[in-house]
Amino acid sequence: MTKKAWTLITILLTLSLMLVGSVPMGTSTPVTLTSDRLEPSVISAVANGEENISVIVQASGDTDALKLAVLDLGGEIEADFWIIDSVLTTLPSIAITKLAADPAVQYIALNRSTKASDLPPSIEPTLDNSTPDEEVVHDIDLKHGEVSVRYPHPLDLGIDQVHAQNVLGRGVTIAFLDTGISTRGTLGKLIKAGYKKRFVGQIDFLQKRPRLKKEGKDANGHGTHVAGLVWNTLRDRDSGAFLGSAPGARILMMRVLDENGQGKYEDAIEAIQAAIEYKDKYNIQVMNVSLYAESTSPYWADPLNRAVEAAWQAGIVVVVAAGNNGPDPMTVAVPGNDPYVITVGALDGNETAGYLDDDRLAEYSAAGPTLDLFVKPDLVAPGHKLVSFLAPGSKFAQERADRKRKEHWFVMNGTSTATPLVSGIAALILEQHPDLTPDEVKYRLMSSAAVALDVETEEPIYSVWQQGAGRAWAPDAVFGDISGAANEGLDINKDLSGEEHYQGWTTWDEETQSFAIEEGGYTTWSGGYTTWSGGYTTWSGGYTTWSGGYTTWSGGYTTWSGGYTTWSGGYTTWSGGYTTWSGGYTTWSGGMLDTGTAMSTGQWVSD
The CA distances from residue 482 to 107, 387, 571, 595, in Å, are 40, 32, 11, 35
Q: Indicate the pLDDT class of residue 349, thresholds 50, 70 and 90.
A: confident
Dump pLDDT digits (tens) for 226-244. 999 998 988 988 899 999 9
Cα 362 vs. chain centroid, distance in angstroms? 17
Choosing among 3.30.70.80, 3.10.129.10, 2.60.40.10, 3.90.550.10, the CATH entry for 3-111 is 3.30.70.80
Output the CA–CA distances (angstroms, integers) from residue 389 to 247, 249, 305, 393, 422, in the order listed.
14, 17, 30, 12, 18
Q: Single out the residue of 279, 15, 234, 259 nearest to residue 142, CA to CA.
A: 234
45 contacts 93 by C-beta, under 8 angstroms = yes
According to CATH, where is 3.40.50.200 located in the chain? Answer: 151-423
Whether residue 143 is predicted with pLDDT greater than 90 in this model: the reply is no
Is 191 in contact with 507 (CB distance < 8 Å)? no
Which residue ranges does the chain devote to CATH 3.30.70.80? 3-111
pLDDT given for residue 134 in this prediction: 53
Q: Tell me what the pLDDT averaged over the chain comes to.
A: 78
Q: Which has the higher per-residue pLDDT, 412 or 160?
A: 160
Whole-structure pTM value: 0.84
Give the rounded percent of residues in the chain with a pLDDT score beyond 90.
49
User: What contacts 398, CB < 8 A, 6 or more positions away?
Assistant: none
At 564, the pLDDT band (50, 70, 90 cuts) reads very low
Contacts of 296 (CB under 8 A, 6+ apart): 39, 40, 41, 112, 302, 590
**pLDDT band at 35, cuts 50/70/90?**
low
What is the three-class DSSP state of 9? Answer: helix
Whether the per-residue pLDDT at 210 is higher than 80: the answer is yes
Confidence class for position 186, pLDDT limits 50, 70, 90: confident
Beta bridge partners of 506: 517
For the ranges 376-390, 400-414, 502-516, 578-592, the one whose mean pLDDT is highest: 376-390
Low-confidence winner among 93-97, 386-390, 503-507, 562-566 (lowest mean pLDDT): 562-566
CA–CA distance, 389 with 228 (Å, rounded to integer)? 6
Q: What pLDDT score was predicted for residue 482?
A: 93
Q: What is the reported pLDDT for 147?
A: 82
Compute the CA torsion angle 116, 119, 120, 122 (nearest 10 deg). 170
CATH top-level class of 151-423: alpha beta
Residue 190 has pLDDT above 80, yes or no: no
Instruction: pLDDT band for 569, please (50, 70, 90 cuts).
Output: very low
Mean pLDDT of 477-482: 96
Report whether pLDDT(188) > 80. no
Q: Is the pLDDT of residue 473 over 90?
A: yes
Catalytic residues: 178, 222, 416
